Chain A
């Protein structure tokens, strides 16, 4: 305690947030004398001293005051200036208790943080973990993506008709969901509302952690103050009406003021802050260029990779059109037969690519009304809609388009790396065909738009920002993490005294490191080959290019038209493929009458209930997007005869409830239950239980359980388990059976036969976090099915803890039947798998071994990837079909998990069968797969085969998956040729 506290003294609270500074002065009765809220554009110290000076002018009596500082960005500064630091959540709590005493729950969203405070019934404070971006920064990013100011976003959301599912984990994920929606023509109003709903879900799923949000709810912080629709979103989900109090922006600073105990001389503090320099200690890399001369030489060298240019006006010969409808930009070119570039456009894609392409084509016809277009091709995210809208001759997968373009600069290119606005695409070329593809996973897309977001946040254009970094003395070492982390790292570096120049070049370096070490995962340049072509809009930034060369220690080629390569490649590809001399692309007349209408409907063709976007064009042509199968397009149900994933689901559906003397017991159908169901269903049925199984997952089921998830970074299949258990509870089950299993069956394919820790012990998590479980019998003891001899006795003892009348004799019989059923179930799958392989071989079809875990068969987990694959006329089997033909694989890692041993064996099998390829499904956040993916890749590559990996999470859009699969298929074809 302070020895002498002047009761008439003014209390000043500062809240230094990630994007704004708030300052409040309170009198002795806690009335606000002065308040201010300003963005700091990362000029934190000067902003603080500016604000304090204002306070000084406004309140002359405040020559000395009680001052405290709060906010994530204020920590170090407070210490250095001798001001007390109050943790911001704590400050909020103090303010809420003082100003709104009957508050039960506070929900506060800030620039980068999300917080929930439970004030009544056991005080608790929760902040988002380190991987959660559903906050103000996220909304900013989304607004940028939609190209509207935040206020307008709110207005748009108010007019929405429907909500799309957008992954709510982090901004980057959500982008991959939103972009394709935009490209398919979804309405901005609906997307805006969907973005807010994603934030709501993220906050509740991430922070409630089993605790119900009810009572008097208070909304605080910038986003919730400025965006009424966001508040409505919370109200809707929480089924309540929260209040957003007066001064809702200032609660942290008011709390800091209330906690202020230390009297300070304001003038001295102002002086200290304005001279605050930071520690000057930040990790940095060597400069990109030592001097101007080096930079000039570098520019000189790169100016040589040019393309021949000509005039489109009055050009008489055949012209080929290439269009690249990318994620953030649309590129269009017109090229001559010999590759001469006649015309090009590079335009931002502000949500809908259709009018932009229309303009592009209009320009071409205007420049050269007598143009002879002999062929056209389109690539990129918007490929399908553009192809349909303008009757483009060919759609070409991006990877092939880029390879075609790169070859025109370097015929013997060995490696291509393309960093665009949203994606990183890299491919290794062997003997002229794509040998390996690396695409960035949804989580690590630190690409062009990432730099742009930062530049804008700091008040520069991308170009200005890039230029700044070139001659930086000490490029900050920011590591290679996702944008959310990067925000905090940048701020830390600024506090430590890094200049804007250092940060600019540091960010460019981190883009490069992200690509190299997270996407491609190289250790040395020799792995990439000597002939490297770099392209994509992001490489137009000289700092990025230089950072790449520096990091790789080798010179590379950046074609002059780096940003146009996709479109240029498409044009060249059109030239190769279009044999006739008249393109099908809309001519000038057709283009003039071109119209485009968008309508959204629900499919209703099956239980998936896909939300479809129906695009109608002037001549009545239609294009449907958002579908997961071909049904709404072809009106036929998909053919599942060559799809083992559908067969597995069919078998599982057959395990129905049979009346029994012991009453109803529920089994949640998730994780290992996907394979153990035949075993446990039979076991329990024999014991006289009526076994009720939860249905296959869907979005609704997931959302019903999400409030009890304790760890927001656990894999999606585990999170779904909460929904399944909730479903059983909602259906009145008083008994639920979900045993822990450290061990799985020993299939003799590995050194051990564990389940992964999450699969093994998830019942414990359910037990500890689902409150309603306490009112029922929840069997979650340990079961050792791997020791059939000991099993009945041990299991009987465990069961008797819950059901004392069960006898060993019963358990023995039930066990016998269970083991038998399990074996038969596996045998059925394997027989069907063999049949698929045989049929496919007869029909000359390619086979994909879609390797994952048994629970990847759940349609909500795989998002219909199986059906997508069969729609390409390819047969699918799963890893367990072929793994049994192998013996234990000699792996470079400890081969100790049953499900993963199967994948190694499957990879070995695929390596010896040329008509097969392996695609590995990986759950985001699966720690075990960090080990298995590298190993499966190694097995395949050792045998000269292509490895393809698909990371799945809550994402529902299949755009990126399509690129991967089409590239794989295209490569398979060219190899076959």
Chain B
């Protein structure tokens, strides 16, 4: 039985012994991504388990242990953990929790602390919490993030982004309902095996697997019909988590829409890029800048891989981060980095540009960065491009689903009207096929990482 060890500040550590004995619970956010990424932890010998619980009890448990004015994602993520610990399904003396920590100026950096407070309140103060972060916060002897591990996590995220994106492109048009869903299952299983055995993360393997995924999707029989195209942006948790957004993706699908959710890779690149922007805006260490720039190049290369596979099989490629970034120029500054920062504005502009001018901007009630870059920018975006048809939706434990859906339906009614108009005036307008982008493999980056 592992001993409980605390650091100087009184934080309960996750020790090497615990690594052997403990099950680590991970909270759910983007289902496809997280299901794949979980396997990276398995490969490194952690007994990781992803929480797939749902239902209204989770929010209720969260409300009981977290300050009710805190962001909804914190209430849900923490509620999900405590709900699991209370369920009797886990041996609480051999269970640890893992949560991400971004270290930015938003409240989200505090989730881990709120989680610990909640654990004490709920009588689980002996359950260790591991911080998953890239800022060197909170070290644990039993859990180390290494560069090879990060590469594998990045690979998992990349697969998730592609599968989610292709599913969204294909599902609304598939002739045999369920084809796309079957591919999700096939590939999550396959990637589970690949990643759990430590493979699937080198540039070569990535390119191959991404290609195979795109190929599989290209073989699904589809029938194109005009559909309302809706983009989803927002605070990252409520954007992706069906628990957080009342299954928004499905709701839109049921309303006969094609959905587009910009991927997680863009968010990761944004967080890395912030360090470069900070250097440019305020000064700092040049050496650090160079290292971070390398990382940025690495991620850009991964982005290229996804785009290549998509283009090769005739899909609409994801928008390049650099392009999204160029769109916000003159609208909001690159220094606006807390939470989703300017990227949120950028994604709305990107969506409008690529034909998804109908947008649901999701945010937890009272989300601070969203006041700025979500609701705060809608007017400017419309001024920039009057096709934009944006509805901002607040999510919180008390916001009734019917009110949210009613507001979304208003947006959809306007969208349908626009669709009918463009259908009648622009019958001949056909999509031009995008040409594949030529890419040089960035060997150097590969070598340094």
Contacts and interface: CB of A to CB of B under 8 A. Distances in A.
B283 A789 contact: yes
Contacts of B335: 740, 742, 782
Nearest to B118: A523
Contacts of B200: none
A768 B105 contact: no
Interface in B375-414: 375-380, 382, 386, 392, 394, 396-407, 409-410, 412-414
B109 A72 contact: no
Nearest to A486: B398
A929 B60 CA distance: 22
A123 B331 CA distance: 22
Contact of B67 (A521, A756, A765, A892): A521
B108 to A, nearest CB: 10
B409 A718 contact: no
Interface residues of A, number: 81
B283 A787 contact: yes
A936 to B, nearest CB: 12
Contacts of B68: 480, 517-518, 521, 930
Nearest to B375: A711
Contacts of B407: 127
A806 interface: no
A477 B56 contact: yes
A523 B105 contact: no
A215 B370 CA distance: 32
B250 interface: no
B295 interface: no
Interface string A64-93: 000000001001100000000111111000
A577 interface: no
A479 B107 CA distance: 24
Contact of B338 (A88, A479, A757, A769): A757
A619 interface: no
A523 B281 contact: no
Contact of A713 (B109, B366, B403, B404): B366
A318 interface: no
Interface residues of B, number: 71
B348 to A, nearest CB: 12
Given A87-B409, A523-B122, A782-B335, A758 B372 contact: yes
Tell me the dominant secondary structure on chain B's binding face.
Answer: helix
Interface in A776-797: 780-782, 784, 786-787, 789-790, 793-794
A714 interface: yes
Interface string B397-433: 1111111111101101110000000000000000000
B372 A523 contact: no
Contacts of B69: 927, 929-930
A710 interface: yes
Contacts of B376: 710-711, 764-765, 768-769
B316 interface: no
A780 B368 contact: no
Contacts of A209: 378-379
A176 B109 CA distance: 35
B116 A892 contact: yes
A897 interface: yes
A148 interface: no
B235 to A, nearest CB: 12
Interface string B32-63: 00000000000000000000000010001001
A431 B379 CA distance: 58
Nearest to B407: A127
A765 B410 contact: no
A756 B107 CA distance: 9
A826 interface: no
Interface string A154-181: 0000000000000000000000000000
Contacts of A87: 406, 409-410, 412-413
A125 interface: yes
A765 B375 CA distance: 9
Nearest to A897: B105
B71 interface: yes
A887 B157 CA distance: 42
B136 interface: no
Given A485-B400, A893-B114, A934-B67, A757 B409 contact: no
Contact of A714 (B116, B371, B380, B403): B371
Contact of A89 (B64, B397, B410): B410
Contacts of B283: 784, 787, 789-790, 793-794
A620 interface: no
B339 A479 contact: no
A488 B399 CA distance: 9
Contacts of A76: 402
Contacts of A651: none
Contact of B375 (A123, A710, A743, A761): A710
Contacts of B367: 927
A144 interface: no
A787 B368 contact: no
Contact of B394 (A130, A742, A755, A934): A130
Given A489-B400, A761-B372, A930-B70, A75 B405 contact: yes
Nearest to B420: A1
Nearest to A519: B68
Contact of A925 (B71, B366, B372, B392): B366
A216 to B, nearest CB: 21
A122 B333 contact: no
B379 A787 contact: no
B406 A75 contact: yes
A768 B379 contact: yes
A896 B109 contact: yes
Contacts of A283: 56
Contacts of A491: 402
Contacts of B284: 787, 790
Contact of B64 (A122, A523, A782, A790): A523
A790 B282 contact: yes
A445 to B, nearest CB: 14
B195 to A, nearest CB: 31
B285 to A, nearest CB: 11
B369 interface: yes
B448 interface: no
A129 interface: yes
Contact of A934 (B117, B404, B405): B117
B241 interface: no
B65 interface: yes
Interface in A789-820: 789-790, 793-794
Interface of B: 9, 56, 60, 63-65, 67-71, 105-107, 109-110, 113-114, 116-117, 121-122, 278, 281-284, 331-333, 335-339, 365-373, 375-380, 382, 386, 392, 394, 396-407, 409-410, 412-414
The 7 A-B residue pairs with the shortest CB-CB distance, nearest first, are A481-B398, A790-B283, A784-B282, A782-B335, A754-B105, A930-B69, A90-B413
7 contacts: A90-B410, A485-B399, A764-B332, A764-B336, A787-B284, A790-B282, A929-B69
Interface of A: 72, 75-76, 85-90, 122-125, 127, 129-131, 209-211, 283, 477, 479-482, 485, 488-489, 491-492, 517-518, 521, 523, 710-711, 713-714, 718, 740, 742-743, 752, 754-758, 760-762, 764-765, 767-769, 780-782, 784, 786-787, 789-790, 793-794, 890, 892-894, 896-897, 925, 927-931, 933-934
Given A517-B64, A523-B121, A718-B371, 10 more contacts: A72-B402, A87-B410, A131-B365, A710-B378, A740-B333, A742-B338, A761-B336, A787-B284, A928-B368, A931-B67
